[in-house]
Amino acid sequence: MQVLVRLSPELYHELEEIARSLGVSKAEVLRQAFREYLARRKVGKNTSKMRGIVKPRISLEELERLYRVEGH
């Protein structure tokens, strides 16, 4: 499936540099970036669900850090 994305000249230049340095296509860089974004978003949703069972003194950032350390 294809998606058209418009980027600013600055973002496009950065995308080109990253793809060149990794030796992969620009499309592959974008696919990986989107996978990572979705994984972080999933962790954020899980963190929000857990908020009700965790001591309120822990910040969301600390909770996310602890969650990632445990490998979930």
Whether residue 37 lies inside any domain: the answer is: yes
Whether residue 64 lies inside any domain: the answer is: yes
Quote the pLDDT of residue 55.
58
Structural domain including 32 reads: 9-69
Whether residue 2 lies inside any domain: the answer is: no
Q: How many domains does the chain have?
A: 1
Q: What pTM was estimated for this model as a whole?
A: 0.58
Quote the pLDDT of residue 71.
54
Closest CA to 50 of 34, 37, 38, 68: 68
Instruction: Encode pLDDT of 23-70 as tens digits.
Output: 999 999 999 999 998 888 777 666 666 666 655 666 777 778 887 765
Q: Please give the backbone phi and psi of residue 54, each rounded to the nearest 5 degrees, phi first.
A: -115, 145
Contacts of 52 (CB under 8 A, 6+ apart): none
Residue entry with tokens 């990572």: 36
